[in-house]
């Protein structure tokens, strides 16, 4: 990554390596979209490690890239194909997904910038990284970068004997891996397993839906109820229209039984969507739908 400074508007796994390698860093003074666009241009940065939450705001300013910026790396949270496509169309640059963990460093990298083509794509395995899969997509990472333990419990179940069990569910796809979601986010709908990311990808196909996040809320009959928070492209869909579309495009167990429209998807202090926090907040607000 030599040849220019790296613009750091968000923490991600690649920053430690950049510091170790002596790459000059330009730290953003403030996270607001207009300030990011200005600082990316004036710093003449060639590399920008970021998180998905910052990209929509930056694009809303009309940002079309800079002559110096040649590599954009997204990490820390799932990057949707729709957002990656929008960034590439507006700036002419691909967003390269990076996937890793504090316990084992980098795991996968999207070298070709294919995140815009494949929903959930996190790239091909990095050097010396080995993955073994248990049933239901649970992945175990081994290799020289895996930590020997954590404090204060070096014997944690997720990290044993040079192997780390990922909290996410992956599947092999196109010579690399797709991220399906977190293990604890999988819904049990009357005994059937439903991955929220699969429902979200289908909902985003509707031209009136800009963003969607799906999570489970308790239901006495089925165990979980598929629940959705939606962001409209222009105007929210009428309840009957949304129901009718879902019945055509989703299997019965994946159809949202409750939903709400929002102006934007809420993120936590780390710029991530937390389904656990959404479940907690859901009960305090009246949802649309049965």
* Domain range list for the chain: 186-282
Indicate the range of 106-115, 174-183, 232-241 predicted with least confidence.
Answer: 174-183
Angstrom distance (rounded) from CA 32 to CA 38: 10
Tell me the mean pLDDT in the region 206-224.
Answer: 85
- pLDDT reported for residue 271: 65
Distance from first CA to last CA of the chain, Å, rounded? 52
- pLDDT reported for residue 76: 83
71-74 and 95-101 strand pairing: parallel
CATH architecture of the domain covering 186-282: 2-Layer Sandwich (3.30)
Q: Specify whether the CB–CB gap between 69 and 58 falls below 8 A.
A: no
Band the pLDDT of 94: cuts 50, 70, 90.
Answer: very high
On the question of pLDDT at 33 being above 80, the answer is yes
Question: 3-state class of 278 per DSSP?
Answer: helix
- pLDDT reported for residue 26: 81
**Higher-confidence position of 177 and 8:** 177
- pLDDT reported for residue 1: 41
**pTM given for the model:** 0.68
- pLDDT reported for residue 242: 96
On the question of pLDDT at 280 being above 70, the answer is yes
- pLDDT reported for residue 2: 42
**Higher-confidence position of 136 and 70:** 70
Q: Specify whether the CB–CB gap between 60 and 39 falls below 8 A.
A: no
- For the range 200-207, what are the long-range contacts, defined as Cβ-Cβ under 8 Å and sequence gap of 24 or more? 200/80, 201/81, 201/119, 201/120, 202/249, 202/250, 202/254, 203/228, 203/230, 203/246, 203/256, 204/80, 204/82, 205/249, 206/237, 206/245, 206/249, 207/233
On the question of pLDDT at 4 being above 70, the answer is no
């Amino acid at each position: 990554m030599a040849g220019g400074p790296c613009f750091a508007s968000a923490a991600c796994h690649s920053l430690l390596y950049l510091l170790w390698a002596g790459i000059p860093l330009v730290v953003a003074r403030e996270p607001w979209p207009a300030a990011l666009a200005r600082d990316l241009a004036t710093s003449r940065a060639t590399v920008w490690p970021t998180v998905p939450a910052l990209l929509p705001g930056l694009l809303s300013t009309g940002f079309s890239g800079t002559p110096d910026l040649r590599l954009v790396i997204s990490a820390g949270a799932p990057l949707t194909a729709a957002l990656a496509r929008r960034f590439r169309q507006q700036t002419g640059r691909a967003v390269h997904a990076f996937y890793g963990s504090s316990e084992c460093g980098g795991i996968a990298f999207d070298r070709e910038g294919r995140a815009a083509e494949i929903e959930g794509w996190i790239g091909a395995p990095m050097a010396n990284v080995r993955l073994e899969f248990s049933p239901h997509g649970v992945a175990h990472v081994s290799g020289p970068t895996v930590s020997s333990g954590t404090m204060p419990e070096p014997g944690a179940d997720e990290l044993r004997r040079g192997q780390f069990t990922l909290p996410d569910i992956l599947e092999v796809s196109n010579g690399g891996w797709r991220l399906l979601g977190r293990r604890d986010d999988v819904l049990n709908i009357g005994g059937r397993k439903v991955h929220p990311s699969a429902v979200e990808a289908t909902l985003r196909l509707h031209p009136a839906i800009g963003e969607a996040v799906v999570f489970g809320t308790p239901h006495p009959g089925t165990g979980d109820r598929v629940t959705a928070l939606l962001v409209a492209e222009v105007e929210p869909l009428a309840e009957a229209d949304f129901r009718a579309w879902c019945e055509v495009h989703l299997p019965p167990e994946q159809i949202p039984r409750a939903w709400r429209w929002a102006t934007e998807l809420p993120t936590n202090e780390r710029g991530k969507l937390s389904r656990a926090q959404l479940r907690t907040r859901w009960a305090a607000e009246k949802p649309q739908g049965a």
